[in-house]
Every structure is written in C-alpha cells, then in structure tokens.
Amino acid sequence: MRLNGEISSGEEEEEVVVVEKSEAGTTPFLGQNVVVGYALTAKKKKSFLQPNFIALARSKGIYFVAIDLSKPLQEQGPFDVVLHKLLGEEWREIIEDFRQKHPDVIVLDAPDAIQHLHNRQSMLQDVVDLNLSECNGKVGIPRQLVITKEKDPSTIPYEVTKAGLKLPLVAKPLVVDGSAKSHELFLAYDEFSLSELEPPLVLQEFVNHGGLLFKIYIVGESIKVVRRFSLPNISKHELSKVSGVYRFPRVSCAAASADDADLDPSIAVRCCLSWYMSANNFSR
C-alpha cells in the first residue's frame, strides 16, 4: 500500500509528483500512477531519459523521479519501482539493503541478477547453455579465449596459437561496467600485435555476418528487434594483406540503425524467425 503524498525528486529544479493512494489489494499499478525512482549516471540519464520519453511515460501515469545520491535511499520515495545502473560495491550494498526493507518495490534489477552481465565471458554463458534442438538454425557464441589480468601481454600470441583461434580476432575488455573503456574494442589481424593490448580481455574469433546485426530487446513478454549496421565481412585476401591491431568505434550504436535500409527481406525474416522461436524456448 502506498501513501498519498508528495515526492521531492531531489533534482536541481524541484519536481513534485502527487501520487494517488492505491486501493489495498488492487492489481499492482493497474489504473494508478507509478513512481519510478532512478539512479543513473549523468551520461545514462541524458541518453535514456529523453524529454519525449518522459512525456510519453507521464501520459501513461508513469513518473520518473531522480534518487538523490547525497541522501539515504530509505528516506526517499515512496517508489513503486527503482531503476538503477550505478557501479561499485557501496551502491550494491545500498540497493541490496533497500530491497530487503522494501520487498514490495520492484528493483530493476536485483544486483545478483545482473552481476554476470558485467563480464563478457559470464554474460554469454546463458547462450552457451541454451538447448534449442527443436528450433530452426542454431544460436551460439564465437570461439573465444579469456586473457586474465594476471597474464603477461607478451604471452597472448602463444595463448592464441595454443587455443587454435582463427584470425582475425575481436579483442574486448573482459569487464563491462558502462565506462567508455569497457566499449573499447579492437580488431586484430595477427596474434603478435595482441601483446600491445591490456588484459583482462576476451579474444573472439571474428564472425563474418554481412555487416548487419540484429539487436533484440526483451522486457517481460515484449520483444523488439532492431537492425543495425555492423562490421563488414573480412575476406581471406584482406587478412593476408593486413597486419596489426586496430581500435574500432561503436559501429552498431543506435545511430547505426539499418531499419530503413534496403536489405534483402529474406535475411531479416529468416534471422528473426529463428531467433523468436529460440527466445520463446529460452523464456520457458
């Protein structure tokens, strides 16, 4: 049960949200305003909480209120949902303590549920564990090798050869923490240049995929598929002519949308159908 009251957003400009008292026993959120407390970096707030999104949410009775990180979380709210993406053990403890004391508040997401996404090896384990025997096609991950931070970079070429990885390779920071550094990816055309990179790393075999990829967003039962431009295929001829390691930009970000690109329709349908069937299998 949430109390009638006013919430200070803690923003620079005071934003007051008057919330209605929900009827005891009603379906959660059905017909009542929803207050979402958010704790995001300034960068994420700028990219995610766009004015048109805020306006759309309000039109549906959903209010986003900034959590004031300089005040105890327990003293803020009340919130129906807490949306967070901050780093560090201190925040993890704060949000975990809040979850224990407010089991009625939906926390997106619980620290334990997202921990494995902060590592490029563990984040793919769910895909590795998928059993999609009855679906069209298959879902897998590139062959890869983790280079731990204890490894001397000069040993990387030997490790790559020992693992039998085929060139070219995509080198990615092992840690995914939302920092710009965690998105610094490199393309390596030979294994020797990899010793210039700084472990911990994941080295993945480059998979030719026609310069197009599909990003699939899933929230509950809602699934959205978008097409994005990606790295072009690398031919054996190019591989024989090029050496070294090259950093590449975030090629498949939102600005690289290929939704309106004139593509062979069968490509898109075939990829989505096989994925959709597998996703449903996965969600059961």
Ligand X SMILES: Nc1ncnc2c1ncn2[C@@H]1O[C@H](COP(=O)(O)OP(=O)(O)OP(=O)(O)O)[C@@H](O)[C@H]1O
* Contact footprint for ligand X (CB under 6 A): 142, 170, 172, 183, 185, 204, 206-207, 213, 230-231, 250-253
Write each residue from 202 to 241 as x if it is in contact with ligand LIEVCTDS (CB under 6 A), else as -, in one continuous string. -------------x--------------------------
CB of 170 to ligand X, least distance (A): 4
62 to 31, 36, 182, 276: CA distances (angstroms): 11, 7, 32, 29
Cβ atoms of 242 and 267 within 8 Å: the answer is no
Residue 44 touches which of ligand LIEVCTDS, ligand X, none (Cβ within 5-8 Å per kind): ligand LIEVCTDS
d(CA 76, CA 11): 12
**3-state class percentages of the chain: helix first, strand second, coil last, to nearest 5:** 35, 25, 40
**Per rule CB under 6 A, is residue 45 in the interface with ligand LIEVCTDS?**
no
**Per rule CB under 6 A, is residue 181 in the interface with ligand LIEVCTDS?**
no
Structure tokens that stand for 105 in this block? 């508040």
CB of 179 to ligand LIEVCTDS, least distance (A): 8
Of 247, 115, 252, nearest in space to 176 by CA: 115
**Per rule CB under 6 A, is residue 44 in the interface with ligand LIEVCTDS?**
yes
d(CA 82, CA 58): 16
**Per rule CB under 6 A, is residue 50 in the interface with ligand LIEVCTDS?**
no
Structure tokens that stand for 218 in this block? 């899933």
Residue 251 touches which of ligand LIEVCTDS, ligand X, none (Cβ within 5-8 Å per kind): ligand X
Binding residues for ligand LIEVCTDS restricted to 109-168, rule: CB under 6 A = none
- Which strand (E) or helix (H) includes residue 239? helix 236-241
Contacts of 1 (CB under 8 A, 6+ apart): 21, 22, 24
Interface residue list for ligand LIEVCTDS (CB under 6 A): 44, 47, 178, 215, 253-254
